[in-house]
Structure 1
Amino acid sequence: MKKNILLFVADQMRRDSLAHMGNPASITPNLDSLLEEGVSFENAYCQNPVCVPSRNSFLTGFYPHVNGHRTMHYLQREDEPNILKEMKRNGYEVIWIGRNDVVPSNRAKTDYCDEYYDGITDENTRDCISGSFNHAAHHNEDTKKLYEKMLSGDNYYSFYMGKLPDGEGYGKADWNCVEKTLEYIDRRRKEKTDKPFFVYCTLSFPHPPYACEDPWYSSIDRNLLPKRRPNIKDVPNKASMLYGINEKQNLNNWSEDRFDELRATYLAMVSRFDFQFGLIKNKLLETNLYDDTSLIVFSDHGDYTGDYTITEKVQNCFEEPISNVPLLIKPAKGIKVEPRISQAQVELVDLPATIAELANSKLSYTQFGQSVLHAVAGDEVHKDAVFCEGGRIHGEKQAMEEGHGPDSPYWPRLATQCSEGPEHSKAVMCKMGKYKYVMRLYELDELYDLEQDPLEIDNLVVKEEYQKIIQQMKERVGQFYMETTDFVPMKRDKR
């Protein structure tokens, strides 16, 4: 009998925001407790550090370059595979709750799931409601005032809103999604069916704006926050995209206390996500479905959260805060597991293959991920190298994501992205053990020793003694592209 699978997905959560990953200010008891019966991967990486390319990757098993998913405006084509489709084809009841960022709004969801709920509308729907992130859709009058206050002075591009009066305005959609998930689990307890379920519940927190209600907002001890990474303007030989964003975000005169409030609010959002996960875990226990359900918790990418005096994310840089993400797996009873924090290098692109093995099925198409269940069972070696990629070539206007003027809080990033200088250079990250190498098309490459330089401020690519390591990693990037450069469709066309 096939086991149930539930994915609980954060948006923009960095791996080091979890307490069991060493953050002394973080409060994540429910996720931490998964280590008693599951695995948390310390070296898990997304394949692009913004939403749409990352989600298209982890739902297919394709790297972003395979089908050109390098922009927020290019969603899945109708003929592209997707793990939700695969699970439906393999006899699962597929329930999609929350964020979209994958299927265009003019396409019905029925090919992907049995039920879809976006967190905003009142009922389950089988139509083409988008579910994409929309500030206006998440505000009531109180949070609208906070949002307008955010867009003022040197706060304008920070994404900092602060303490929410309650959970009824901004952030309400996530509560709706969790409630719908709990209702579904209750419904499954009452139904007499052998059909397994696949729930894809994907929330918006801790995606900026940085805002949260009590008790989470006040629970974070500001005195325990880790030290911020240094201002990018004082660090040489980094990507020009970061200097461009820093110059436009206007945060260089912020006090450390202001950054502490922003970072603490972000951790409060993470803690609220953890609480919501606890509600779902307890509901599975209450309904006697927990043992028969594999849980996978992860995020699509991370967030700078003030590191380098930058907030939010960027599409073609790969520092740990935005590329290194949480990934926790608690398998159903009967599946071998060695509970621990694992050092194995894994990628979100590995999720479809992992889910297929959990479901005791095979994917109907060739893809590039590898199941991590052997690592869940105890292996500490999964991949010799992991990759993250982004950017564009000069002249690719369709990848610039134009249309945001200075009135948009996203303007610092997107205006820099529209430059035809080196800023939006096509780039790829390759991490092998303690070394992280970034190959850039139009500017200086990067190399960091993450053990000696965890803040990624000393670019070793300019040092002669590291040229052999750089050449080895260049060769590994070449092998990566040779192995994954395209996807041959599974279906033959008539001639």
Structure 2
Amino acid sequence: MRSDSMAHRGNPASITPNLDALVEEGVSFENAYCQNPVCVPSRNSFLTGLYPHTNGHRTMHYLRREEEPSILKEMKENGYEVIWIGRNDFVPADKPKTEHCDEYYDGETDENTRDVISDGMSLSIDMNEDTKRLYKKMLSGDTHYSFYMGKLPDREGYGKADWNCVEKALEYIDRKGKEKEGKPFFVYCTLMFPHPPYACEDPWYSSIDRSKLPERRPNVKDIPNKASMLYGINEKQKLNEWTEERFDELRGTYLAMVSRFDYQLGLIKEKLKETGLYDETNLLVFSDHGDYTGDYTITEKAQNCFEDPISNVPLLIKPAKGVPVKPRISKAQVELVDIPATVAELGGFDLSYTQFGKSLLASVAGAEEHKDAVFCEGGRIHGETQAMESGHGPESPYWPRLSTQCSEGPEHTKALMCRMGKYKYTMRLYEQDELYDLEQDPMEIKNLAELPEYQEVLVKMQQRITRFYMETTDFVPNKRDKR
């Protein structure tokens, strides 16, 4: 979910009343960034407080190692009942989740559920007959690599897993509300929508006014000096002949998925209020990464690119009663890596391990200076075939990105984004760097990296990146070995 998909962030076509209402009692961070623009590395970062490069979490296939921490485990060890609902993408499938939670529910209970498409992960789609027809239609003609499915007939097919997850969360909250005594609880509920494929049922599908959509970012093939990864994906997705009306339909469907998520968030809020738990509950809402959704004539995301549609994510915090808060949209620069430290402070304990996040509670209370710089990273060095995520043929809708990742050119190679104020700088290991002035160029079109008048800015940001790597490249293990 991209940050600009919420109405309170200025999107005139968005319908997100429950997210917007949180700004009246909490904080929405408009400059929140994920630390990697795909799900597994991002989750390995925001669940630990460690940057992806620290332990090498830079692909979909390398999940948590046994010695690595998690905020879920920390909460459980500090007396919380931990309930994990929905997607994993963190603990390897052959490892137990018992050290991280008391209960786990994946939401995929329907006997018709099966894996249909793969992103180097298991992306499960609930496949009833209507969904199968829509999915097959998507994989035909010039929609093959678009991820566009369109209007769902009901909630019984694709997307049902999210409804199952929300129902499980509501059941748990209801149960806790009836307890006379019991442990404090920590619910980690992770939903799929608005993850591609782009599809949604009514009333949300029909609710979005496509005529109100904001301007789409221009085709990357017409923009010089962008990352080669984007040119490769654009060429292979074959969406360059699409009309603006077709992109509007795709983008409108995406916002419908966001609106459905907002409705489900509203169900959670109402259940907390109904059970008398809302005031004493801290609510954090965020996404692991964003989505291009047709910007630059590209859909989905890219693993080593950092334009705001995929790196700038929603992050909203509604604190419990008694926690100091100045309700607003905050301009403070923050990162998802800050979540474990924030949750630990809310929980009243110190994290038991070294990590690099910084609690957001001072910013929740009103401070507008949190970090002088925020970072997002991805890619690999030449020769790291284990990071290519190979094995996907042209029949997969993910093939344009995944096949480009297998190139030993510069496309899938290491890059690090640093944002400091209005400037966003991306250092690239094997190709041209990028520098954008987000105030003058919010669509990130004009690369300033080679212009003489910006070299002082470039050097300043390069120096900040050097310090960032010095601070976060490694740390002494928390557990001593016998010798």
Query: What TM-score results when the alignment is normalised by the length of structure 2?
Result: 0.97
- Residue 389, structure 1, aligned to residue 377, structure 2: yes
Query: SS of the residue aligned with 2:98?
Result: coil
Distance 1:252 1:321 in 2: 19
Cα deviation code 1:248-279 (max 9, x no counterpart): 00000000000000000000000000000000
Q: Tell me what 2:283 maps to.
A: 295
Q: Tell me what 2:311 maps to.
A: 323
- For the 8 Å contact 1:98–1:177, the answer to whether it is kept is yes
- For the 8 Å contact 2:374–2:419, the answer to whether it is kept is yes
- For the 8 Å contact 2:3–2:313, the answer to whether it is kept is yes
Query: SS of the residue aligned with 1:96?
Result: strand
Q: Tell me what 1:30 maps to.
A: 18
Cα deviation code 1:72-113 (max 9, x no counterpart): 000001110000000000000000000100011111111110
Q: CA deviation at 1:352?
A: 0.2
Superposition pairs of residues 181-200 of structure 1, within 5 angstroms: 181-200=169-188
Distance 1:173 1:425 in 2: 35
Superposition pairs of residues 400-419 of structure 1, within 5 angstroms: 400-419=388-407
Cα deviation code 1:144-163 (max 9, x no counterpart): 11001000011100000000
Overall identity of the aligned pairs, in % = 79
- For the 8 Å contact 1:133–1:204, the answer to whether it is kept is no
> Which of 212, 236, 256 matches 1:268?
256
Distance 2:27 2:458 in 1: 32
Distance 1:487 1:210 in 2: 41
- For the 8 Å contact 2:159–2:193, the answer to whether it is kept is yes
- For the 8 Å contact 1:346–1:382, the answer to whether it is kept is yes
Question: Please, what is the CA RMSD of the aligned residues?
Answer: 1.1
What letter is aligned with 2:215? K
Q: CA deviation at 1:189?
A: 1.2
Distance 1:136 1:76 in 2: 21
- Residue 238, structure 1, aligned to residue 226, structure 2: yes
What letter is aligned with 1:265? T
- Residue 141, structure 1, aligned to residue 129, structure 2: yes
Q: Tell me what 2:116 maps to.
A: none
Q: CA deviation at 1:121?
A: 2.5
Q: Tell me what 1:74 maps to.
A: 62
What letter is aligned with 2:236? K
Query: SS of the residue aligned with 1:252?
Result: coil
Distance 1:16 1:302 in 2: 10
Query: SS of the residue aligned with 1:345?
Result: strand
> Which of 335, 338, 353 matches 1:347?
335
Query: What TM-score results when the alignment is normalised by the length of structure 1?
Result: 0.95
- For the 8 Å contact 1:427–1:441, the answer to whether it is kept is yes
What letter is aligned with 2:143? N
Q: CA deviation at 1:489?
A: 1.1
Distance 1:137 1:438 in 2: 35
Cα deviation code 1:368-419 (max 9, x no counterpart): 0000100000000000000000000000001100111111100000111110
Q: CA deviation at 1:192?
A: 2.1
Superposition pairs of residues 328-477 of structure 1, within 5 angstroms: 328-477=316-465
> Which of 26, 31, 38 matches 1:50?
38
Query: SS of the residue aligned with 1:297?
Result: strand
Q: CA deviation at 1:487?
A: 2.6
Distance 2:230 2:473 in 1: 28
Long gaps (5+) in structure 2: 112-119
Distance 1:84 1:171 in 2: 26
Query: SS of the residue aligned with 1:488?
Result: coil
Tell me the matched-pair count. Answer: 475
Distance 1:136 1:205 in 2: 12
- For the 8 Å contact 2:284–2:316, the answer to whether it is kept is yes
- Residue 21, structure 1, aligned to residue 38, structure 2: no
Distance 2:406 2:185 in 1: 43
Distance 1:175 1:153 in 2: 31
Structure 2 CA distance for partners of 1:170 and 1:443, relative to 1, 3 Å: same
Q: Tell me what 2:217 maps to.
A: 229
Long gaps (5+) in structure 1: 1-12, 124-131
